[in-house]
Amino acid sequence: MANPIRIGLVGVGKIARDQHLPVIAASPDYSLVAVASRHGGLDGVPSYGSLEAMLAAHGDLDAVALCQPPQARFAAALAGIAAGRHVFLEKPPGATLAEVGLLVEAARTRGVSLFASWHSRCAPGVEPARRWLSGRRIRSVEMAWLEDVRHWHPGQDWIWDAGGMGVFDPGINALSIATHILPPFHLTGATLSVPENRQAPIAADLHFADAAGTPIRARFDWRQTGPQTWDIRVETDDGTLVLSQGGAILTIDGRDQPLPPEAEYRGLYDRFAALVRSGASDVDLNPLIHAADAFMRGERRTVEAFTDRPDTD
């Protein structure tokens, strides 16, 4: 068996603690060497206040996983690549398309692997859905990603800043699945609802079409209360396919399909290990392209101010 990949993790926030760290600890492909974070370290592991300090202290690192907000990821990824480390990027891979393009070229020149991860593509129902849809005529697609931002992102102001993507932070998960299971499509129109006290949208209504003119709609909204919704419904000439709970459940014509256990982040880290060992990269920009197109072409509509605390009046 190959030696474990010696990895450092940057950004010890909720997603790192909930997903990245447990998978790294459980995988024989990795050995966690150190972490870097501005907001506290990790017990039992050497911790540093910056990526640069971690790289300087650990010349034995093979790779870094970057879990900071997207606005900070470019500089960190470039530093990791320049130091000869393989780089794992949380989604979205960057705040702009151009910066990710520069990272791709830098990784190619330096001879290291770069991985733009899209965890929702590893949900249990996604690959079976892609196989079932292949070769079938699609008549329409409806995506609904409706959740309560106060529950999932309490106090995270960075998501409302320029480059933070707003409701596209979760919505891009729907786009990552759609670009994997559907034929190529393009944006035809969009409406972005932006709170008057924020810079990023709280809701988005997107319309797409493929080369055959198939209507594809996506609704993203962070104002959902009660049950949360992460569904993709595809009408075909052979029946109706529904991916629900973010791809965890797959039904065809109302019948549940057998699926493997959930292993989204395990799938990502298995893929990264394979890339590192083969010297390859995997950077699919299609989900980010659709999000960028929505910001470019979308009609901006101002809505009432948003506060992270519910109204108590």
Query: d(Cα 89, Cα 74) in Å, to the nearest integer?
Result: 10
Cis peptide before 92 (omega within 30 of 0): yes
Catalytic residue among 73, 86, 91, 153: 91
φ, ψ (nearest 5 deg) of residue 252: -125, 120
Q: Is 206 exposed, middle or buried (0-12, 13-18, 19+ CB in 10 A)?
A: buried
Strand partners, 7: 32, 63
Query: d(Cα 74, Cα 53) in Å, to the nearest integer?
Result: 17
Burial 93-123 (b: 16+ CB within 10 A, else e): bbbbeebbebbbebbeebebbbbbbbbbbbb
**With DSSP H G I counted as helix, E B as strand and the rest as coil, what are the percentages for the chain, rounded to 5?**
35, 30, 35
64: tokens are 């870094």
- Determine contact, residues 12/66, Cβ cutoff 8 Å: no
- Determine contact, residues 250/258, Cβ cutoff 8 Å: no
14 catalytically annotated: no
Residues 6+ apart with CB under 8 A from 150: 308, 309, 310
Show which residues are catalytic: 91
